[in-house]
Structure formats: C-alpha cells, structure tokens
Structure 1
C-alpha cells in the first residue's frame, strides 16, 4: 500500500497566508469606511455629481497611497530588524559554534525533546544549515522568506482601492434621488461581508464582528452626513 499524501499547508506558510488575507480584508474594510464617510459627507452638502466624484477620487488616492506608504515603512523596519538579527546570529555561529550548538540543544529540549534527542537533532540541523536552524528555532525567522516591503505596499494599495471603489461608484452612478440609499445599503452589506471574513480568518464567531463593522460604518456615515448637512444649511 502506498503512503497517503498530504497537500495541506502547515506551519509558517499557512500562518503567513492567513496574515496576508486578513490584511487584505482589513485594507478593503478601511477603504470602504473612509471613502463612504467622505462621499456621504459631501452628499450631505451637495448633490453635484462632479463634486462627489472629485471628493471620492481624492479620498481614494490619498487613502491608498497613505496605506501603501505606511505599510512599506512598517515592513521595511521589520525586514531591517530581521536582517540585523540574522547578522548577529551569523557572527555568533562563526565566533562560538559550540556555545550556539548548546543553545540550540537547550531550545529544542524546551520544546519537549529529551536531552539526547535534542542534542542529536541540534547536531543534524547544524550540519545541514546552522544559520537557518538557529533563525527558525531561536528567532522565528526563515532567512529565505524575509518580509518584502514592496509586496506589502502593493497589497495594501490594491486592497484599499478595491474597497474604496464600492462607495464611490455607488454614489456617482445612480440617479440623484437614489444615490444616498444605494450607497448606504451597499456599504453596510460590504461591511457585513468584510466583518464576517475577518472573523472567519481569525477562527472567531462572526456575529459580533459583523455587528461591530456595520455599526461603525453606519456611525461614520451618519456623522459625516450630519456634518455636511449642517455646513450646507449654514451656507458654507
């Protein structure tokens, strides 16, 4: 009989994929809420389609660029920290290999291996790739899979843009009498979906996440619409 095969992803690969998916969902959610709040606020002050489109596009571009820049800076800092930690580990492996072998043995022993098995595993891992072994066990880093700031920046940019397009199109495409209704309904439906998705990716119950997401979006649109209406009434 042949051994059963497994196609599942395990460990770090699955965790990294879930983190990317969660970041994409949250980025889209940010795009929905911020752009919806902006265009609904402007709609409270005017029903001019050009003004609504201009405000929506400005908010989309500003938000997506801000998200991309922030993610690039954040992930670049993380990557620099990872490279610095790997450099220290590489130097220690070169200068005191026996001490590093003992350290790796102790770390493996803490994970539940017996002293003898931990020592044998540490020796074999060190002979195969000492830096990768220490980076994985001691630092939780894969030297071959360092975080990429450009990937993170583009992912944030695209996720925010995708989310922002929904309220923008919902506001400028329908007839004037239907704009606000279509926007509010579509935005709340989208927020329910992103709330459910983020909860499921985190293995949590979706009920509270959906409620929080929808309530937050409704509050944002209500506040900005009230502000726009007050400015319109004041003749600003």
Structure 2
C-alpha cells in the first residue's frame, strides 16, 4: 500500500498567507479602534468634569485642576481595567487559542516551522501593551479639553471654547473610528457628538441644580 501525503499546493499556500494577513489587519484595526475609543472617552470624561465644576465655580484654576485630576484618575482606571480584563480573559484563553491556530496554519503551509518566531509572538495580545495604549489614548483625549480652557480667563468664553474644541476633536475621532470600523462617517460623527453633548449637559445641569 502506498501512503499518500496531503501536500498543499501553491493555491492553498496563497490562501493561508492571505488569511494570516487578514488576521494581522483585523488585529491592527482593533488596536486602532480601541485607541480611538480611549481618546474619545478621555475627552468626554474630562470635558464633562470641567463643565460640571464650571457650573458652580468660574475660576479657571479650579477647572484645570479638576480636569487634570480626572485625566490622571481615568488613565489609571484604564490601565487597571484593561490589564486585569486581558490577564484574566484574553491572556490565558485567547492567547492560547491564537497560538495554537497560528502553529496549525504554519504546519498546513508546509513551511517546516515547529514554533513561532519572536516577531510573530509579538503580534499576539499583550496586556501591558493594551493597558499602556489605552491609558495613552485617554490622556491624549483629556489633553484636548485641558488645553482648550487653560488660556481663557473669561468664564463664558472658556465654556464655549471647551465645547467647540471637544466637539471638533470628537468629530475627528468619529471619522477615524468610522474608517477603521467601515461604518458610515456621518452617523459615526453624529453619534459621538450627541453622546458628548448629553454628557456635558447632564453634568453641568445636575451640578448646577444640586449646588445652587
């Protein structure tokens, strides 16, 4: 009896290579999408805090201190939350799944590899990288709100600039998120703008109602 070896042809190899590239693209898109969401979260949270303080205190220093404290607290929260969630869920489940899947694809492509290269391991989920990227994105968004109010002494003008700059930045984040998520740009921008306006209006209104 002759043993038949199931050796993949060139078309199979090309298909496997395309699947691997597609997986890499999806992973990068997910990282970028998470960074955009983190930046949007930092911007909305910090701007809403500053608007809430502005409802009862017109001093620019109070708004900046509150925004800075919110930025630091939010960034730390992002680090802890993302790291814990990835360690407890992704790092010990999805990591093993992707590792096994990548090894299987290498064997199927008959390239003679028994283990992954170091460069390929770096493409797999990493809780430290995810936590750092989320915190950095949050800080970037928060800085937009902080800088927009730092050099304006007039109270009403300061509030207007915070709203205008935050809205403009969120529109940019909405466009980026729509591009990577392959979603309608107008709908994405409108969604983030409405969310931001609701957050700031609610924070400003409740603070003014409770403390005046």
Give your verdict on TM over 0.5: yes
Deviation at 1:12, TM superposition (A): 2.3
Please say which structure displays the higher CA radius of gyration: 1
Deviation digits for residues 107-163 of structure 1, max 9, x if unmatched? x9xxxxxxxxxxxx84x63x723566xxxxxxxxx6563311111111011100000
Q: Which residue number in structure 2 is paired with residue 149 of structure 1? A: 127
Deviations 1:12-70 (A, max 9, x none): 22222211111111100000111111100110111122221221111101101111111
SS at 1:129 equivalent = coil
Q: Which runs of 5+ in 1 are unaligned?
A: 1-8, 90-103, 109-120, 133-141
Which structure 2 segments of 5+ residues have no match? 1-19
Q: In the alignment, what sits opposite 1:167?
A: 145
- 2:64 aligned with 1:80: no
Tell me the CA shift for residue 86 of structure 1: 7.8
Map 1:133-148 → 2, pairs under 5 A: 145-148=123-126
Q: How many Å apart are 1:74 and its aligned residue?
A: 2.1
Question: Where does 1:117-136 land on structure 2 (aligned, <5 Å)?
Answer: 122=108, 125=110, 128-130=112-114
2:171 alignment partner, one of 179, 183, 192:
192
> In structure 2, what is the Cα distance between the partners aligned to 1:86 and 1:157?
25
Residue equivalent to 2:8: none
CA contact (8 A) 2:95 2:125 kept: no
Match of 1:10, SS state, is: helix
Residue in structure 2 matched with residue 182 of structure 1 by the alignment: 161
How many residues are aligned here?
Answer: 185
1:42 and 1:55 in contact (8 A); partners too: yes
Offset of 1:197 from its aligned partner?
1.1
Taking the TM superposition and a 5 Å limit, the aligned residue runs for 1:36-75 are: 36-75=47-86
After superposing the two structures, state which structure 1 stretch, 219-228 or 72-81, moved more: 72-81
1:24 is aligned to 2:24: no
How many angstroms does 1:190 deviate by? 1.1
Aligned to 2:193: 214
